[in-house]
Structure 1
């Protein structure tokens, strides 16, 4: 009986341990280059793209760090109100809500790790770009910027 309980405990612990580590390179999604341009300045980021429902559900959960020029792009098939939460997200993020024309609808800066409070766009958006918390302030990015990327599917 003890052996069965030990085996059961180990089998239950394994997936949780896997979830708690940073995603390995093999688990990470494809990356693309995203540019945020404003008043003569352009900032380039190499971001993962969360295309599938599963990738979008997982997002940046369980990550303990994010490269300075890294992040994740969540493109939507059709523009919609963007709503995200920080459940199981261990680091603060800047969420940039992007309209279909590349203009910025809203920037939610330094979102609170593990919060269940929704972070919502102001209007319909075509994508959300998540960057390390504090990036927008550090680089002077505001709602006057334009966000562009070339999707290479």
Structure 2
């Protein structure tokens, strides 16, 4: 389903596994609810420290209905950078209750400047740069996904 489509949360947070991504990462369905609209994405899960360190480095495109989620075992003030990241990304910081703490829109490719959460978060979601603004996704919106 395209990211800009209206949908219910059916499929979001489902425990039904999806096929691995071309990069070999596990994937899951994730939904973001903004007001009355819910948008569904298929996201890669970067669980290990090695997967998280690589993230979206060297990729030249990212579909509007795709992304990458970085879950953490404990809440922390997450800090990301764009070193070796070719495309701009929206970096979304997610609290333990599933709400968006903040969004760093259009993070600059190749930048080594830290992009940080303002408080401890349990996960970070990366989407195509500019997409959150285009879809009206903002701080306080709800994110649902199957983290197991």
Q: Which bracket does the TM-score occupy, shorter chain normalised?
A: 0.7 to 0.9
Does residue 73 of structure 2 align to residue 77 of structure 1? yes
- What's 2:9 paired with? none
Map of 1:34-73 to 2, 5 A cutoff? 34-73=30-69
Deviations 1:22-68 (A, max 9, x none): xx81x331110110002111011100000001000000000000111
Moved over 2 A (4+): none
Does residue 98 of structure 2 align to residue 119 of structure 1? no
- What's 2:8 paired with? none
Range moving further from structure 2, 142-151 or 52-61? 142-151
TM-score by length of 2: 0.84
Aligned-residue offset at 1:124: 0.2
2:139 pairs, out of 122, 135, 143, with: 143
**Gapped runs of 5+ residues in structure 1?**
1-23
1:103 pairs, out of 99, 106, 120, with: 99
Quick one: distance in 2 between partners of 1:140 and 1:105?
15
Root mean square deviation, CA, Å: 1.0
Equivalenced residue count is 128
Quick one: distance in 1 between partners of 2:68 and 2:82?
14
**Gapped runs of 5+ residues in structure 2?**
1-20
The structure whose residues are more often helix, as a share, is 1
- What's 1:94 paired with? 90
Quick one: distance in 1 between partners of 2:131 and 2:24?
21
